[in-house]
Amino acid sequence: MSEPLRIGLVGTGWIGRFHAKSIATRVPGATLAAVADPDPDAASSIGAPRSYADPLDLIADPEVEAVAISSPATTHTDLVVAAARAGKHVFCEKPMAVTLADADRAIEAAESAGVALQVGFNRRFDTDFAAMHDAIAAGAIGTPQLLRSLTRDPGISAEVAAGVKPWTIFNETLIHDFDTLCWLNPGARVTSVYAQAAALIHPQYADAGYLDTSVVQLRFDNGAFATAEASFQAVYGYDVRGEVFGSEGVLLAGRDPEHAGRLNTELFADAYTAQFAHFASSVRAGRQPAVTGHDARIALEIALAAAESVRTGAPVELAGAVPA
């Protein structure tokens, strides 16, 4: 039996702390070797064997075999590149990058170094969504024709809304749905994106670029239509669902609203664990993970096109990229 993969975690925000606990206590085949955060007290409070203020010091640590990145999105690409160049395998929270050029830079660094690169699209590891994907891939409902994915967060205060950066609803929320819709339509690529969005919950921040409600329509090259929707005001809980209608049937995934969890870490607790277990086993087996940097680039391209569509009020045509 192989030794547990020694993972160093960068970033101790709410999702970073959750990942740290998962890696340390729940993920088979992995162990938490070190933590880095600009706040030394936050880093040391995790209880890892070593803590750092500078993530580059963590990356240089010879005891760290792989790096899990859960710092702010604007830092992701540089950390992926630094870790890859140091020969460390990389798990990166979404989005892997905030521009396509940065996405390409991250992918190139990992491929040149020959290290694994996995991106945190957790729905792929949820049992409901995974079962739906496998059934679609096996032809259970024929050819996908209409797809739907939704994310509704359980309420956002005015104080929190005031700090939300422009386009967050696409780059950090709906990017999950964009990846899910591509994954549930195997072999197809998105060719057109049309998005509408507004600040319906806290309109006082609209002039600063804040958006909290959106519907995005996608068209695939196999003829299928898809809809992704998001709201930051699901007062009943954290609501994530999917539906795929095909030429020979329909499949659904996710909980009914009355059973929605209050937090995504509650709703997807097992999926978060499973994605890190997959990462660790992929590294030990010497294979690339199932969720790659190329997948992350595809979802980012859709997110950026959605923002452009809102700016122009028109659909955006994509050159697209077939998943590797």
Q: What are the pLDDT digits (tens) for 59-108?
A: 999 999 999 999 999 999 999 999 999 999 999 999 999 999 999 999 99
Are residues 302 and 179 both part of a single domain?
yes
Q: How much is the mean pLDDT over the chain?
A: 95
- Residue 255: which pLDDT band, with cuts at 50, 70 and 90? confident
Residue with tokens 């991106």: 119
Question: Does residue 194 belong to any structural domain of this protein?
Answer: yes
Residue type, 2: S
Longest dimension (CA), the chain: 57
Where residue 322 falls among pLDDT bands split at 50, 70, 90?
Answer: very low
Mean pLDDT over 186-208 rounds to 97
Question: Tens digit of pLDDT for each residue in 180-196?
Answer: 999 999 999 999 999 99
What distance in Å separates the CA atoms of residue 204 and residue 57, rounded to the nearest whole number?
42
State the pLDDT at residue 144.
Answer: 98
Q: Looking at the domain assignment, is residue 174 inside a domain?
A: yes
Kindly state whether residues 142 and 247 are assigned to the same domain.
yes
Q: Which domain holds residue 132?
A: 123-262+296-317
* For residue 278, pLDDT beyond 60: yes
Could you count the other beta carbons within 10 Å of the beta carbon of residue 141? 18
pLDDT above 90 covers what percent of the chain? 91
Residue 36 confidence (pLDDT) above 70: yes
- Would 274 be classed as within a structural domain? no
Beta strand 239-246 pairing with 249-254 = antiparallel
- CA 213/CA 215 separation, integer angstroms: 7
Sign of CA dihedral 299, 206, 12, 263: negative
Q: Which of 115, 147, 170 is the last residue of a domain?
A: 115
Parallel/antiparallel/unpaired status of strands 225-231 and 144-152: parallel
So what's the pLDDT on residue 309? 98
**Residue 129, in any domain of the structure:** yes
User: How would you classify the pairing of strands 249-254 and 316-317?
Assistant: unpaired
| Mean pLDDT across 259-284 | 88
Q: Are residues 9 and 138 in the same domain?
A: no
Q: Is residue 281 part of a domain?
A: no
The pTM score is: 0.95
The C-alpha angle with vertex 174 and arms to 109 and 245, in degrees rounded to 5, equals 110
Asked if residue 301 and residue 178 are part of one domain, the reply reads yes
CATH number of residue 99's parent domain: 3.40.50.720
What pLDDT digit, counting tens, does each position of 165-176 carry? 999 999 999 999
- State whether 185 and 43 are in the same domain: no
Residues 174, 304 within the same domain: yes
Distance (Å, whole) CA 15 – CA 268: 12
Q: What is the C-alpha separation between 111 and 143, in angstroms, rounded?
A: 33
Confidence of residue 323 (pLDDT cuts 50, 70, 90): very low
Q: Which residue has the tokens 């964009």?
A: 178
Total number of domains in the chain: 2
Name the phi and psi angles at 65, rounded to 5. -95, -30
Q: Which pair of tokens denotes residue 240?
A: 């994530």
Q: Is residue 206 in some structural domain?
A: yes
Is the model more confident about 269 or about 132?
Answer: 132
Q: What pLDDT score was predicted for residue 174?
A: 98
At which of 95, 115, 135 does a domain end?
A: 115
pLDDT at 1: 61
Please write down the long-range contacts of 54-60, taking CB distance under 8 Å and 24 or more positions apart: 55/10, 55/79, 55/82, 56/82, 58/8, 58/10, 58/34, 59/8, 59/83, 59/86, 59/88, 60/86
Domain CATH for 169: 3.30.360.10
Same domain, 160 and 303: yes
